[in-house]
Amino acid sequence: MSPPRPAESRNDAELILANRGFYESLWARAKLIGPERFNTWPLLRELAAGAPRRLEVAPGLRPRLPLDGTCFVDLSHAALHRLHARGASTVHGMIGALPCADASFDLVCALDILEHVADDDGALAELARVAAPGASMLLSVPLHPEAWTAFDDFVGHCRRYEPARIVAKLADHGIRIEHSAVYGMQPKSSRLLDLGQWYLTHRRERAMWWYNHVFMPLGLRFQKPLQWRAGLGATQGVDELLLYCRRG
């Protein structure tokens, strides 16, 4: 059997259906975790404090920017309802057609989203459109197409990026990488991933109990501290990168 490969042939409608089917159900059962619980917080807290106009796209129930003062755009009604209940400003929308005015944000955050959309150039164009000149932009992307697994398919990924490709794509939209950090919480065990996929597919209620009460708390507890490095940095063996960029 040949190994699974990135599914860039899927169109936006197919990807939206796959992502909505997975994440709407996930967020309906998951707990909202505040941004201060993640290892991104020490890096993003100061950035957020210096940016009065903030946007986070597709946070689900894992926002990385402060709930107070940030505009959150998501496709999931379940996630938006929970964020709004905690006092956040929420708008229903998609990364490819953001319901926001041009140049209206000083800080734009879109983590774990570009790999989910067929038209990533359209998504980057929208992020660049709503970012003010000189705005900070925070993105994360999975790397190396050869590292593709069935888990990528399961969670609705469309692609993994060659490092040179993401640099070029960002540059095409006037976005320059200033710093990066090795990032990601994906388990290393393929057996654990396979077991998790089976339970999420066939025993979702039980799977969500374990996710909320065991796996997510353990994942948060054992997060490694993140550290900025200049530019893209070394990428060999790196599964995912957090990118700190500037809008040109």
The shares of helix, strand and coil residues in the chain, as percent rounded to the nearest 5, are 40, 20, 40
Q: Could you count the other beta carbons within 10 Å of the beta carbon of residue 13?
A: 9
One CATH from 3.10.20.30, 3.40.50.720, 2.70.150.10, 3.40.50.150 for 12-185+223-247: 3.40.50.150
Contacts of 229 (CB under 8 A, 6+ apart): 179, 180, 181
Half-sphere exposure of 29 (CA within 13 A, CB side): 16
Rounded CA separation 8/158 (Å):
5
pLDDT digits (tens), the chain, 248 positions: 444 455 555 556 655 665 566 667 777 778 899 999 999 999 999 999 999 999 999 999 999 999 999 999 998 999 999 999 999 999 999 999 999 999 999 999 999 999 989 899 999 999 999 999 999 999 999 999 999 887 787 777 889 999 999 999 999 999 999 999 999 755 555 665 666 666 666 676 776 676 677 777 778 888 899 999 999 999 999 999 999 999 98
> Are residues 193 and 151 in contact, defined by beta-carbon separation less than 8 angstroms?
yes
The H or E element spanning position 23 is helix 12-29
Domain borders along the chain are 12-185+223-247
Bridge partners (DSSP) listed for residue 185: none
Residue whose tokens read 């860039």: 8
Whole-number pLDDT of residue 7? 52
Residue whose tokens read 């990135």: 6
Whole-number pLDDT of residue 29? 77
